[in-house]
Structure 1
Amino acid sequence: MRIRAINDAPVREQGEFVLYWMVANRRPHWNFALDRAVALAAELNKPLVVLEALRHGYRWANDRFHAFVLEGMAAQTEAFEDAPLLYYPFVEREDAPGKGLIEALAGRAAVVISDDYPAFFLPKMHQAAAEKIAVRLELVDSNGVVPMRLPDKIFSRAYDFRRFLHKNLNAWVDDFPRASPFEGVALPTIETLGDEVESRWPRAEEALLRAEREALAALPIDHSIAPSEQLRGGWKKAQARLNTFLGWRLDRYADDRNDVEDGAASGLSPYLHFGHISAHEVFRAVAEREGWSPSDTQPKHASKRAGFWGMSPGAESFLDELLSWREVGFNFCHFNPEGYDRFESLPDWAQQTLAEHRDDVREHVYSLEEFAAGHTHDALWNAAQMELVHRGVMHNYLRMLWGKKILHWSRSPEEALAIMIELNNRYAIDGRDPNSYSGIFWVLGRYDRAWGPEREIFGKIRYMTSDSTRRKMKVDGYIERWAAEVEDA
């Protein structure tokens, strides 16, 4: 269910090692792909090589994203220090391009394992590699607690996906990766990949793994978007964030997660996106804190946001976000790999109502550059944009308002979509992710329904305003905090 080969090449038993090409599940445990690689290495009695690579040629590559991943690689180096494997962190540089590395290692490998991630450039990258190598390439799904291939269709509503998840609990609730993947495992080891490989594709230096400013400056990426000072990458930081959430935010989550001033959001989405923490580990930690077992579930509440798990209100609310809302996005990307980020993927009713109001007069219209700089007439919107620009994240509730107003102030719904994707993927640490695309497209009607009364520009799309947000929550302090970051026009 979680493992698939994407080429017809065989496992080569005379190969030197098993290669795990780590590209999405960037963590040393709770990782089905790592478990698979360890199991094959043990079965074949081969050394295990873990290659964690970071390329520079992807769209939106910048100091912020690179630093977050590099900090994760530094944590991996420490975690794998005593493990029975060769960990090889490679960072593509202008003088050390990554082209040819996978083919070179695959030419010596018995089998290649990698991460099955359904979005951004990864699917095409894997397919291109599969066509070039002469050894079996397996992709392993370790994205979420529900295997992407367990459902056999796209779910158009979170309600229906939630119902499927609840009704099929037994199919996934005990299917967890290993917290200690090397426990009880003995593998032969190798110390080096050899001069030919290590001279052409050198191991990342410590200064780079520490994401030092000068080291980042030498890379051919966008240096105008700085690393987030508040958010640092890696599995250790992810676990610390989880512990903080469980310790004093989970109990308030149901009531306070949308509070701007003292919210109870988990803050885990950047770490989930880059694979520094597993949804399985998060689910297990919540379940253990709640003293939960599958017998506590309430089948009569299947498909409901609360009541099914038999947990506290905060845990029920959080698990609905972690499981239902996060994983329905992976469901969409898996079954619609070419169109998940296209306007035409919206529900027919949404496309129709937006088309009917395409020519409505807009009182305010802003360009991409004006949006990016926070140069709108709305102080709350500007503050939310500045949080995104400078921290790399945005308050959850304000992200919905942020998108709705971009629709309101753009020349067309298609332009609004392009602006949302560009701003989110340029600045957000958790951007370029199935869950992130779900949020953007929800603004335009995905996973939603038609709403009344019908309004200008929005038609039957759900409507939100800054004024209504101000009435729901205290935002003056938030606006004041971020107003100073708005660039002068």
Structure 2
Amino acid sequence: MMTDLKSAVPESRVVAANEAEVRADGDFVLYWMVMARRTHHSWALDRAIDWARALGKPLVVLEALRVAYPWASDRFHRFAIDAMADNAKRFAKAGVTHHPYVEPSPGAGSGLLQALAARACVVVTDEFPDFFLPRMLAAAAPRLPVRVEAIDGNGILPLRAAPKPFSHAHHFRRFLQRELRPHLTRAPVGDPLRRLDLPRLDALPAEILQRWPAASDDLLRGTPGSLAALPIDHDVTPVDFRGGPEHGRKVLSSFVDDRLDRYANGRNQPQQDAASGLSPYLHWGFVSPHQVLHDVLTREEWSPERLGEKATGKREGWWGVSANSEAFLEEFITWREVSYNTAFWINGHDQYDSLPAWALSTLKKHAGDPRPHLFSREQLELGHSYDRLWNATQGQLRAEGRIHNYLRILWGKRFLEWTRTPREAVEMMLHINNRWALDGRNPNSASGIFWCMGRYDRAWGPERPVYGTVRYVSSTNTARKVRVGDYIARYEPADAPTRVPG
């Protein structure tokens, strides 16, 4: 049977997840939408459309949301279901069958993928190197009767373009400057549903819809109380801003039009509101990395001829753009994509023992140092330390599902002092971040946490109690660099203590 396909999707981004073949006599092509929850700038959607065209079949999109994944909550469900609502409208307009399924109880969705795959010609899905997604794909794909392709749309550089993990951003940046050039001119289709001419499927089989009905209108609209019956964490409440690709477009446009011009000097100052705000939308796949890069470079009137000729590994100068865009691309390309490189190559990248040897050594040496002030997980989740600035960072995390990027460093560093061991510090950080942060459970988020413990960094003197030679950050020093008065006033929990406990 046919397994080769003429497609604009680079082969470096296509992975066969099982050994089954394409079945040309199936009823449709199935796109199992997992991480790229959008209808634009998506390599996976492009690949699914290419298969549908080649086989002359309808396209079916399964967009499902489980209830039993770790840290499932009202916050994450609402953010994800916003995307389902956006996608449902776009697919309906294009004549594509879209099945938004929200699991009502643990295990209720079991069998849905298999039932659809039994009628499919081929299954296309998203590759993601973190959280439970690799295990889910590895377990599901061999059980399906047709070819399953996982498509890497994670970054501008394909995951497999780098032959190894990189321990320092400088080394990865130099690699990018050598290898990234040809990938900058290959991007997914901006609007693949525009003028889409595929055969249409009237409806999914009745037995599938009866057992696994589509999400209700109340769920898709966000009707108050619609999440109440789901067995998820209701204490982590939805944020005040919407999820979904339509709102993601607005956030991206607002950043490029209004804040990019002050990014270099303003991104570390909370009161200047110069940060992109894109991290949650990138994590959930509402915004594509290629879309972000395109919009930033278009504003610069950029062309590939402006790239530096030599791979020096330096932060400035290689892109040939303004200082503000250069600073943003350093964060967006170098630091984001080195985190995906780490997640892809290092098993257990989010485990304490994955830290570099020098960090493990110095932390072990100081693991028994006295820690005068220990806090429980509950106290830290509530933002009930004696440090008002730290409490405010936790207050923002609880209220908005995010922390200002510069202050996130301080947030992470203090765990070493307030928990019994370095290992407990990592476990506590990961739990609190992954429970409350909209961009948690992501390589970039995990890398930020592990940077606080020494990853991608070097030893710093003088050697200190508790920290050893891991870089030290304090609220006092942070307040000298960043204006924090308004930030504390806005986010400090009202019931937080304001003095050192005796």
Q: 1:262 to 1:191 in 2, by over 3 A?
A: same
CA offsets, 1:416-467, max 9 Å, x none? Answer: 0001000100000000001000101000011111111111111110100000
Q: Look up the equivalent residue of 2:128 and give its one-letter code.
A: Y
Q: CA deviation at 1:205?
A: 1.1
Identify the residue that residue 306 of structure 2 maps to in structure 1.
296
Matches within 5 A, 1:71-86: 71-86=82-97
Superposed CA offset, 1:233-259 (max 9, x none): 011111111111111210110001010
Q: Does 1:445 align with 2:431?
A: no
Specify which of 213, 219, 231 is matched with residue 224 of structure 2: 213
The equivalent of 1:160 in structure 2 is 171
Q: Determine if the alignment matches structure 1 residue 38 to structure 2 residue 31.
A: no
Q: Would the aligned equivalents of 2:172 and 2:334 in 1 still touch at CA under 8 Å? A: yes
Q: CA deviation at 1:302?
A: 3.7
Q: Alpha-carbon deviation of 1:185?
A: 4.3
Q: Which of 353, 359, 371 is the equivalent residue of 2:380?
A: 371
How high is the TM-score relative to the length of structure 1? 0.97
- Deviation at 1:370? 1.0
> 1:407 Cα deviation (Å)?
1.2
User: What is the aligned counterpart of 2:251 among 241, 257, 274?
Assistant: 241
Q: Take 1:216 and 1:57, find their aligned partners in 2: how far apart are those partners?
A: 14
Structure 2 counterpart of 1:276, one-letter code = F
Residues 333, 434 of structure 1: 8 Å contact kept: yes
Distance 2:299 2:247 in 1: 20
The equivalent residue for 2:190 is: 179
RMSD after superposition:
1.4
Letter in 2 for 1:113: V
Partner of 2:339: 329
TM-aligned CA distance change 1:196 to 1:232, over 3 Å: same
- In 2, distance between residues paired with 1:79 and 1:318? 31
Separation (CA, whole Å) in 1 of partners of 2:220 and 2:197:
29
CA contact (8 A) 2:19 2:142 kept: no
3-state SS of the aligned residue for 2:270?
Answer: coil
Task: Find the aligned partners of 2:310 and 2:31 in 1 and give their Cα distance.
Answer: 43
SS at match of 2:108: coil
User: For the structure 1 residues 62 and 15, does the alpha-carbon distance in structure 2 shift closer, same or farther, using more than 3 Å as the test?
Assistant: same
Contact 2:413 2:472 in 1 (8 A): yes
Partner-residue secondary structure (3-state), 2:109 = coil
Q: What are the superposed Cα offsets for residues 313-358 of structure 1, whole Å, 9 maximum, x if unpaired?
A: 110000111110001111111112x311111110000000000101
Matches within 5 A, 1:186-335: 186-229=197-240, 231-300=241-310, 302-335=312-345
Name the structure 1 match of 2:40: 29
Change in Cα spacing, 1:482 to 1:262, as seen in structure 2 (3 Å) is same
Q: For residue 15 of structure 1, what is the aligned residue in structure 2?
A: 26
CA distance in 1, matches of 2:233, 2:360: 35
SS in 2 for 1:149: helix
- Partner SS, residue 93 of structure 2: coil
Q: Equivalent residue of 1:140, what SS?
A: strand
Q: Is the partner of 2:271 in helix, strand or coil?
A: coil
Answer yes or no: is the 8 Å Cα contact 2:17–2:142 preserved in 1.
Answer: no
Q: Distance in 2 between matches of 1:476 and 1:296?
A: 41
Paired residue secondary structure (1:214): coil
Contact 1:386 1:486 in 2 (8 A): no
Alpha-carbon distance between aligned partners in 1 of 2:209 and 2:132, rounded to the nearest angstrom: 26
* Whole-angstrom CA distance in 1 between matches of 2:232 and 2:178: 46
- Is 99-108 or 177-186 further displaced after alignment? 177-186
Shift of 1:157: 0.8
Gaps of 5+ in 1: none
Q: CA deviation at 1:299?
A: 2.8
Select 1:384's aligned residue among 383, 389, 393.
Answer: 393
Give, as a single letter, the amino acid of the residue that structure 2 aligns with 1:409: W
Letter matched to residue 64 of structure 1: R
Encode CA deviations 1:369-428: one digit per residue, 9 max, x unaligned: 111111111000001001001111111011100100111211110000001000100000
Give the match for residue 349 of structure 1. Answer: 358
Aligned partner of 1:136 in structure 2 is 147
282-291 or 243-252, larger mean C-alpha shift:
243-252
- Identity across matched positions, percent: 48
What is the aligned length?
A: 487
Unpaired runs of 5+ residues, structure 2, are 1-11
Q: Give the AA of the match of 1:283.
A: L
1:66–1:439 distance in 2 versus 1, CA, 3 Å: same
